Structure 1
Amino acid sequence: MSTAQLPVAPPTPWVDGLTIGQVLRETARQYPDDDAIVFCGPGVRVSWSELDREVDLVARGLLALGFVPGDHFGVWATNVPEWVLLQFATARIGVVLVNINPSYRAGELKFVLKQADVRGLALIDHYKTMHFQEILLEAAPDLASSTPGHLHSPTFPRLRWIVEMRGHQPSFGLSWYDLMSGAVSVPQACVDEVAERLNPNRAINIQFTSGTTGHPKGATLSHRNVLLNAFYAGQSQRLGPRDRVCLPVPLYHCFGCVLGTMCCIVHGSAMIFPSECFHPGETLAAIESQRCTAIYGVPTMFIAQLENPTFSKHDLSSLRTGIMAGSPCPIELMRRVTQEMGASEITIGYGQTEASPLITQTRTDDPIELRVGTVGRPLPGFEAKIVDPDTGAELGDGQQGEFCGRGHGVMIGYYHQPDKTAAAIDRDGWLHTGDLGMRQPNGYYRITGRLNDMIIRGGENIYPREIEERLYEHPAVEEVQIVGVPDHRFGEEILAWIKFKRDQQATETELREYCRLGLAHFKVPRYWKFVDSFPTTVTGKIQKFKIREQGIEELGLQDEANIETA
């Protein structure tokens, strides 16, 4: 039985064999005066030649502090201009960028800084109620008595430098101005010399998985991993130097710093950042004012824009394409994005951080039924297959099993976690995603859920995605999430959380009947809850485990939840 694989498209991608720094240099040479970056909030606009020069300055500043290839430098911030500068500056001199979730509290920050051997950390002062310096000192109180360059923390034995990117400069850290001022002591030739020796197959980025259970794991990616992924992801959208990509997605996540910034440097497209964190109104305003041709986001972001009170007031006629990814996309939502937002060539991408991140993607010229109903075909140079989760045997078309991928995007491994790496990547190089999917005869894939999301009710396997798709078709439903909750009789029962569209309502009885008309009786939810919002990660991914936990509490199912099973 053959696996689905597309031949590598000739010619070989121009980025193959290059480092991130070399790709940026070439793009700046080709399009020196074109917009590279626009940050709408602070009003920052930078051309490609200006970006290239700024990156060199930051790289020289890092060399002045003693950073060398292989060192680890963490960035803990929202979407700010300095984040992008540090991403490219660290890559230019071979320093490994460690992405840190800006929503982390002290315990999570402490784990990541120590586990990833972070030697330098850049942070912002605050965002809304998050005060980053206070959280850092809570994680390591002894930093308060240290001085820049002489940090002594038993908790973080490798940490030497703290850089405050904006706001109040701590006594133990440098300001951004200090970092840039240090560049004068290092000639440009030093940067060029270091950059020349770098290997594109070496680690350049550590991105931590969300860690919904246990501690997060640091997926280690190479220059080649992210550049090839960015090349093909952009090619699938037909991106070029005239495109302007709206990026409301967070930079710390692979959606922002690979499909976003890397896609743009590879294809010469402008990066447009509407705000520090996602805001639907500001995103719509940025699309209009900057004449964006592409828009990125997870499904919840698109729903928020479509349902925003200002939606009809914005001119979105410039939109053509983009990527919707990060979690399963409801078919009805995809139709609304193509028709109401006008992104008629928007693509669906599927993958995970461990794959740098895309494994499959639809193309702009795919028929609409494939772009709204599948996650596309494997990227060139990637293979995919569906296997039986219990036996590992490869399954045929139309059979549901675990989705596995193999190719240029598969991570180097989890940093300092060889056992977890071996559990994720088998001896033949296949990445086991933990997602359920099936392949269609035409080579396109559908993702049907997570292995651990499956509900088993009275011996029947129930996949939440099927029920969610049915409810998304109801005219009053804006968003829906289906989870399983414990039940003494059936083992599990189905709980539906429903958010209605503005000025729309439906009763539990109406929704039950709607499900009953389109689904088998055992798939009709027993429990219903009408909500205004869902628990989400900072990237907008809905956290089903929290919905389940809250459901158990509210429904008084603690005893059932504690029943031991084989």
Structure 2
Amino acid sequence: MARLTQSYVHGVSDIPLIGQTVGAFFDAAARRWAKSDALIVRHQKVRWTYAELKRKVDDFAAGLLALGFVPGDRVGIWSPNNAEWVITQLATAKAGLILVNINPAYRLAEADYALNKVACKALVTASQFKTSDYVGMLNQLTAEGRLPHLQTIIRIGGAASGMLGFDDVPGLAGPEHHERLTQLGEELQFDEPINIQFTSGTTGYPKGATLTHHNILNNGFFIGETMKLSEKDRVCIPVPLYHCFGMVLGNLACITHGSAMVYPGEGFDPLAVLETVAEEKCTGLYGVPTMFIAELGHADFKKFDLSSLRTGIMAGSPCPIEVMKRVVSEMHMEDVTICYGMTETSPVSFQTSPADPLEKRVGSVGRIHPHVEVKIVDAEGRIVPPGETGELCTRGYSVMRGYWDDAEKTSEAIDAARWMHTGDLARLDEEGYCNIVGRIKDMVIRGGENIYPREIEEFLYRHPKVQDVQVIGVPDPKYGEELCAWIRLKSGAACTEEEIRGFCQGQIAHYKIPRYVKFVDAFPMTVTGKIQKYLMREEARRELGLVEEKTA
């Protein structure tokens, strides 16, 4: 590759983009690899071939049609990882329905907002997960009349009052519904929306990134190509399916290459991951850095034979260089890759390759993905020279349709030339390798979860004693970052850290609840009245004795 003279790269490839819907591609894959393992779910004792998975997907999709849903309707899924999740993902795609991913950690206020923002007509839900009682929350929301669009709730695990059982849906379909499903396979277009994923914004309210068949099918395919996946691979997927990491990098990368999807549990448990890799002889393993740290640090780590591993993905937050080196040497993952991207870009734009020099594989996020463009620009929008820092902008097949029902926020993110402005600060070297060096926005990445402080601030403003609040991210050795809330109380009010955290319990996801709370009389500001969050971060680090981790 010629050395760059400006910070612009585009992914040249001899392999064309896939011009099919997810359903059409999956049908062809199921025929090609009919007898190969498609899905292994350890905690459910599920082991299905591609042919078996296709039958279950088709039956569930026909059942959704029998319930009266038509292409374009939104169907939510609120569940941890399980076999029903991937069935729903593929069945909605085949039926032309738009799958809406609801974060399993969401509580009342968040679920209320998400389901109503996109007018979900149906919801596939688990009963509960950890401390989240999904059925209880849904009963409360429906009893209060807060879900006017929701017509059908499908419960994983069996029918309940006012809810259909997941396993009962296929039986609702007749021959005409299966025939209609076949017709839809010929009618659906690959540029149609297939998936909505919520990503928080600086307004404090989640935005629904709307992705198409073309977006996520191609991204999953080229991720798998970079990893050199084949029908011989078995990929352990402990990352959540509601996120692009699970459903695109995981499920679609596997399905497009005939590989087996292996789920070690409902949620992440380091011991279950180690046991699953050893038992199933997995060749690939996914995770955010905190997951790999937990696996490497487990007391029984050395007892497990992980020699079957060769590849995998570490992504979701900056990857500590020393952790990457240990993953390569101690977990046998010589071909492990790092990915960078965002939900709005399906998600991957950069990925390291097994052929890259080790220092580039552990010290960068790799080079541009096939058929994708990236430029690094300064504050005036001009492309900067190689080695200089600027905002990363990306363009190509992977850029979302837009934010659901939010033209204003879409136009702020995607300019007239279709460049997606990521808000991330990055630099390209002369060979085209990318380093992510910071964030223009104040986004906090805690254990792979993107958190926008404004959303937490908006919620904390509801507390009757809070006059003003600012939320920042501070370094954390386990999660990469943790939340710290600086709070100005109303005149004469008294409050404790425990009271603030108690106010958050059950209303916002656990990972959004500030670990640190500091009561202050004022915030550091510029003469024009702008809050100086960088000074707040520096002071919080000093007071709490926190140290920044060195990352790639």
- The TM tier, using the shorter chain, reads 0.7 to 0.9
**Other-structure match for 1:559:** 522
The Cα of 1:186 is off from its aligned counterpart by 3.8
Mapped pair 1:161 → 2:152: yes
> Given the superposition, is the C-alpha separation of residues 268 and 212 from structure 1 closer, same or farther in structure 2, using an over 3 Å criterion?
farther
Cα deviation, residue 103, structure 1: 0.9
Report the equivalent of 1:400: 389
SS of the residue aligned with 1:449? strand
State the distance in 2 between where 1:299 and 1:401 align.
Answer: 25
Provide closer, same or farther for how the CA distance between residues 212 and 183 of structure 1 changes in structure 2, counting only shifts above 3 A.
farther
Q: How does 1:24-39 map to 2 (within 5 A)?
A: 24-39=26-41
Q: 2:190 aligns with which of 200, 205, 211?
A: 200
Check the 8 A contact 2:7/2:384 in 1, yes or no.
Answer: no
2:13 counterpart of 1:4: no
Match of 1:258 in 2: 248
Tell me the TM-score normalized by structure 1. 0.79
Partner residue, 1:349: 339
Counterpart pick for 1:286 among 261, 276, 286: 276
Amino acid at match of 2:188: L
CA shift for structure 1 position 336: 1.1
Deviation at 1:136, TM superposition (A): 1.1
1:366 to 1:545, Cα distance in 2 relative to 1, 3 A: farther
* In structure 2, distance between residues paired with 1:203 and 1:300: 32
Aligned to 2:44: 42
Do the aligned partners of 1:5 and 1:380 also contact (CA within 8 Å) in 2? no
Counterpart CA distance in 1 for 2:308 and 2:27 is 29
Residue 7 of structure 1 deviates from its aligned partner by: 4.5
Mapping for residues 170-319 of structure 1, pairs under 5 Å: 170-184=160-174, 186-210=176-200, 214-319=204-309
- Give the 3-state SS of the residue equivalent to 1:74 in structure 2: strand
- Whichever residue aligns with residue 15 of structure 2, its letter is P
Aligned-partner SS, 1:436: strand
Query: SS state of the match for residue 214, structure 2?
Result: helix
Give the residue type in structure 1 aligned to 2:28: E
How many residues get paired?
A: 472
The alpha-carbon distance between structure 1 residues 159 and 499, as it changes in their structure 2 partners (threshold 3 A), is closer
- What residue in structure 2 maps to residue 409 of structure 1? 398
Q: 1:65-113, CA deviations, whole angstroms, 9 ceiling, x for partnerless residues?
A: 0111111100000001111101000100110100000111111001001
Asked whether the 8 Å contact 1:222–1:411 carries over to 2, the reply is yes
Distance 1:204 1:493, change over 3 A: closer
Q: Does 1:442 align with 2:431?
A: yes
Higher relative contact order (CA 8 A, sep 6+): 2
Task: Give the Å deviation of 1:139.
Answer: 2.3
Letter paired with 2:165: S
User: For 1:415 and 1:248, how far apart are their aligned partners in 2?
Assistant: 28
- Pairing 1:356-367 to 2, within 5 Å after superposition: 356-367=346-357
Deviation for aligned residue 1:348: 0.5
SS at match of 1:268: coil
Distance 2:476 2:193 in 1: 41
Residues 1:453 and 1:336: Cα distance change in structure 2 (over 3 Å): farther
Distance 1:193 1:365 in 2: 44
Mapped partners of 2:177, 2:476: distance in 1: 59
**In structure 2, how many angstroms separate the alpha carbons of the residues matched to 1:353 and 1:4?**
21
Separation in 1, partners of 2:251, 2:324 = 24
Change (3 A) 1:441 1:313: same
- Where structure 2 has 5 or more consecutive residues not aligned to the other structure, the ranges are 446-452, 454-470, 480-508, 531-552
Work out the percentage of aligned pairs sharing the same amino acid: 44
Quick one: structure 1 residues 399 and 139, their matched pair in 2 at CA, closer, same or farther if it must change by over 3 Å?
Answer: same
Q: Which residue of 1 aligns with 2:491?
A: none
2:192 and 2:213 in contact (8 A); partners too: yes
The code of the aligned residue for 1:226 comes to: I
- Give 1:158 shift: 2.4
Q: CA deviation at 1:407?
A: 1.1
Decide whether the 8 Å contact of 1:109 with 1:139 is kept in 2. no
Q: Which residue matches 1:488?
A: none
Q: Show structure 1 runs of 5+ residues with no match.
A: 143-152, 455-463, 466-482, 484-491, 501-540
Shift of 1:206: 0.4
| CA 410–264 in structure 1, closer or farther in 2 if over 3 Å, else same | same
Is residue 225–residue 356 contact of structure 1 (8 Å, CA) maintained in 2? yes
Q: Which residue matches 1:67?
A: 69
Superposed CA RMSD in Å reads 2.5
Describe the shift of the 1:72–1:542 C-alpha distance in structure 2 as closer, same or farther (beyond 3 A): closer
Offset at residue 543 of structure 1 (A): 6.7
Tell me which of 121, 136, 144 is aligned to 2:123.
Answer: 121
Q: Secondary structure at the match of 1:272?
A: strand
